[in-house]
Chains A and B, each alone.
Chain A
Amino acid sequence: MNRFLAFVIFVIFVSSRYAGGGVAYAADDARTIVTEAQHRTDAKSQRYEGVLQVFDAKGKITDKRWTFERLGSHGQSRAVLRFVAPPEVKGVALLVVNHPDRASDQWMWTPAIERDRRIALQDRSTRFFGTDFSFEDLEERDVNQYDYVLLGEESIDDGPSWKIQSTPKRTRSSQYTRSIVWIRKDSYAFARIENYVKDKLVRRLNYSDIQNIQGIWTARQLEMFDLTRGSRTRLTLEKLQYNLQLNAEDFTLQAIRRQ
């Protein structure tokens, strides 16, 4: 399972109250599950090369690639994502500084104008560089930023999973009103996340090709569906490594200005 992962809305949630239909389980059960899922993805650092395929509503494919590095875990982490393809966006970089108690800070570096720009909270619902991931989807979120309710159990891709509803706490600014998360019972890896704005399902993130990488169950393929636009983006993680040596000075505004 992929922690920050990027887009992985690592999110998870716990709630002290029950919000859905069917059988309600104790909120502590849901939080325990999510906490364990987060714990199992703890790593001092992460690096991968992301291959993106953006499928528009007509099925037309656009390819992009980026490199991703993260230092720290969950709410204490910093991440830098840098495009390496297509050539016209080479060098575009995003710095994400995650916080345990609130939404992340984000800055984007655009080499064509040699400027960085802070991504405001209210702008994070927009798509990230033509992909179906929003800026918010690129954050790594800590378990304590959400409330959770265990809704039950379902199978995702033949894998028995817990179905959990998460709701952002008031201190946690989010475009999503709530999310439904499926966590596999065998590995505590995320299997699916569905994001809602009010009662409308707007984005679905599917995790597949789950492999054990250096002891961490990680989805090597993530597919984000924008259900409003009818488009989707498939992200494949290549050359994935955990706990490698990274320097803190490479995760600053000055650093992303270096090409």
Chain B
Amino acid sequence: MKALLLLLVLVPAAAGAQTFSQRGFVEGAGVLFPQEAPNDSTRAVGDLRVRDEVFYKPAPWIQFAAGLDLRANSHDRVEKSWRVDYSDRGVRDPRLSVRRLSATLTRGGFTLDVGKQFIRWGKTDIVTPTDRFAPRDFLNVIDTEFLAVSAVRGVVQVGDETFEAIWAPRFTPSRIPLLHQRWTAVPPAAAAIPIADIGASLPAGYEAGVRWSHVGRRIEYSLSYFDGFNHLPAIRSEVSLAPPRIAITRLYPSIHAYGADLAAPTPWFTVKAEATYVTSSSELSGNDVASGNDAADDYVLYVLQLERQSGEWVFVGGYAGEAVTRSRTSLVFAPDRGLSRAVVARASYTLDANRGVAFEGAARQNGRGMYAKAEYSQARGQHWRATLAAVAIGGHADDFLGQYRRNSHATLTLRYSF
């Protein structure tokens, strides 16, 4: 960790302009919720984030990347400790965390990335079923952010073919909503019963994946295989009556995922499609889980998406579907599946060089859940940008989206980039 801090502080002064780059921002956001939630009466939340990332290339064949995040939040979303967090395994956002820390070596068509890094698979945008090495921070389910994973990633590019192999020795879970806050929807009947998070059973094994991609003149496609753990947890709950309490444990099933994605430009629009078949072992990972405890479904998750730019407009729209091939009775936190069986769409319009508007929405095909987001953004000068967003969520309590119907909100974000 000291090495990282030293790199962030000293490298800018020591490195030449051609081998060093840096970017970062300071961002403040205010969120207003018109309604109280059963488990959360707070209606105004303030958030502050500072990010700094540096990239240093001392020689053509090697590059280092490092990034730090500093956070503060008015609603107990951030740890109080000032330790520098590397693992991203905490329930809350760390106060100070290593966002990335990696080395990239290249030789010819071979690239090797080692360290904490971002790995993205897939081609679709709003829902990405094959994106298995991309856990997210879901403390706010609508406004999420990707988390880096610690991994070794080798890529060989030969002509139009790319072969990729990943080995992640240490599992990084997605960060799920805090139990005492509004993004954990509590049924009214259970609102009076205390819920306790008694922790997570984090798998100790490694994760691995391979991917082959082809870039053709008229089509791009990939096939992938993932052997690891679902970064979205299954939830085991235990109810005790005296005293009344619901104890929650987060468990991360071992899964195999077979994926495929493609992008095919046509004269009218670009067709993007992505699908994954996820099959789980019959046991949950974790030492405290009894053998034979079925807890995760086998399912196919797929997306068909159309994309088109026209003038200043960018349109993305499609359908996300799911087919469960083996159902097991388990409680899961699964936003990817929660956005399936739904029509999803996004449109953005560039007003001018500094201003833009965007609209995004999803509606479940059974009509039981929907969300819509409208955003206006304006830059001022070289550094400042203000963004005003309004999110409307509606539906029924038994739907993934509908359960957040009291969480419609407005956000004002002010960012200074440097």
Q: Does B bind A?
A: yes
A51 within 8 A of B: no
Q: Closest CB-CB distance, A234 to chain B, in whole Å?
A: 13
Instruction: Check B352–A56 contact: CB distance below 8 A.
Output: yes
| Apart from the given pairs A87-B383, A126-B314, A253-B162, 5 other A-B contacts in the complex at a CB distance below 8 Å | A86-B417, A118-B220, A122-B266, A252-B157, A259-B53
Chain B residue contacts of A26, Cβ below 8 A: none
Chain A 90-120 interface mask (CB, 8 Å, partner B; 1/0): 1100000000000001000001011100101
Instruction: Check A258–B312 contact: CB distance below 8 A.
Output: no
A181 within 8 A of B: no
- Closest chain B residue, CB of each to CB of A129: B353
Instruction: Check B21–A84 contact: CB distance below 8 A.
Output: yes
B106 within 8 A of A: yes
B311 within 8 A of A: yes
Query: In the complex, what distance in Å separates the CA atom of A258 from the CA atom of B382?
Result: 24
Q: Closest CB-CB distance, B263 to chain A, in whole Å?
A: 6
- Closest chain B residue, CB of each to CB of A52: B353
Instruction: Check A86–B379 contact: CB distance below 8 A.
Output: yes
Chain B residue contacts of A56, Cβ below 8 A: 352-353
A171 within 8 A of B: no
Instruction: Check A91–B353 contact: CB distance below 8 A.
Output: no
Contact of B146 among A114, A126, A130 (CB under 8 A): A114
With contact pairs A87-B23, A90-B23, A91-B23 given, residues A249 and B106 touching in the complex (Cβ less than 8 Å): yes
Count contacts between A and B, CB distance < 8 Å.
Answer: 103
State which residues 58-109 of A face B: CB under 8 Å: 62-63, 84-88, 90-91, 105
Instruction: Check A122–B352 contact: CB distance below 8 A.
Output: no
Chain B 101-136 interface mask (CB, 8 Å, partner A; 1/0): 000101111010000001010000000000000000
Query: In the complex, what distance in Å separates the CA atom of A217 from the CA atom of B392?
Result: 57
Question: How many chain-B residues does the 8 Å CB contact rule pick out?
Answer: 50
State which residues 144-199 of A face B: CB under 8 Å: none
Query: In the complex, what distance in Å separates the CA atom of A115 from the CA atom of B385?
Result: 22
Instruction: Check A126–B23 contact: CB distance below 8 A.
Output: no
Instruction: Check A120–B270 contact: CB distance below 8 A.
Output: yes
> What are 30 A-B pairs at a CB distance below 8 A?
A54-B353, A62-B354, A86-B382, A86-B383, A87-B25, A87-B383, A87-B417, A88-B25, A88-B379, A88-B383, A88-B415, A90-B23, A105-B215, A105-B217, A114-B120, A118-B220, A118-B270, A122-B265, A122-B269, A122-B270, A126-B309, A127-B350, A130-B354, A249-B106, A249-B108, A252-B109, A252-B157, A254-B162, A258-B106, A259-B55
> Sorted from nearest, which 6 A-B pairs have the closest CB atoms?
A120-B265, A87-B417, A130-B353, A123-B309, A259-B55, A88-B417
Q: Closest CB-CB distance, B313 to chain A, in whole Å?
A: 9
Chain A residue contacts of B304, Cβ below 8 A: none
Q: Closest CB-CB distance, A197 to chain B, in whole Å?
A: 12
Instruction: Check A122–B162 contact: CB distance below 8 A.
Output: no
Chain A residue contacts of B267, Cβ below 8 A: 121-122
A→B interface (CB under 8 Å):
54, 56, 62-63, 84-88, 90-91, 105, 111, 113-115, 118, 120-123, 126-127, 130-131, 231, 247, 249-250, 252-255, 258-259
Chain B residue contacts of A122, Cβ below 8 A: 265-270, 308-309
Instruction: Check A254–B418 contact: CB distance below 8 A.
Output: no
- Main secondary structure on B side of the interface with A: strand
- Main secondary structure on A side of the interface with B: mixed
Chain A residue contacts of B379, Cβ below 8 A: 62, 86, 88
- Closest chain A residue, CB of each to CB of B148: A114
B60 within 8 A of A: yes
Query: In the complex, what distance in Å separates the CA atom of A56 from the CA atom of B355?
Result: 12
With contact pairs A85-B382, A87-B25 given, residues A126 and B311 touching in the complex (Cβ less than 8 Å): yes
Q: Closest CB-CB distance, A230 to chain B, in whole Å?
A: 11
Chain A residue contacts of B265, Cβ below 8 A: 118, 120-122
Chain A residue contacts of B308, Cβ below 8 A: 122-123
Instruction: Check B312–A126 contact: CB distance below 8 A.
Output: yes
Q: Closest CB-CB distance, B314 to chain A, in whole Å?
A: 8
Instruction: Check B111–A254 contact: CB distance below 8 A.
Output: yes
Chain B residue contacts of A258, Cβ below 8 A: 55, 57, 63, 104, 106
Q: Closest CB-CB distance, A124 to chain B, in whole Å?
A: 9
Q: Closest CB-CB distance, A94 to chain B, in whole Å?
A: 14
With contact pairs A54-B353, A118-B220, A127-B350 given, residues A90 and B309 touching in the complex (Cβ less than 8 Å): no
B332 within 8 A of A: no
Query: In the complex, what distance in Å separates the CA atom of A88 from the CA atom of B379?
Result: 10
Query: In the complex, what distance in Å separates the CA atom of A168 from the CA atom of B310?
Result: 21
Chain A residue contacts of B352, Cβ below 8 A: 56, 130, 231
Q: Closest CB-CB distance, B379 to chain A, in whole Å?
A: 7
Query: In the complex, what distance in Å separates the CA atom of A121 from the CA atom of B25?
Result: 34
Query: In the complex, what distance in Å separates the CA atom of A123 from the CA atom of B311?
Result: 9
Chain B residue contacts of A249, Cβ below 8 A: 106-109
Most interface-central of A84, A118, A259 (chain B CB within 10 A): A259
Instruction: Check B220–A63 contact: CB distance below 8 A.
Output: no
- Closest chain A residue, CB of each to CB of B271: A120
Chain B residue contacts of A111, Cβ below 8 A: 23
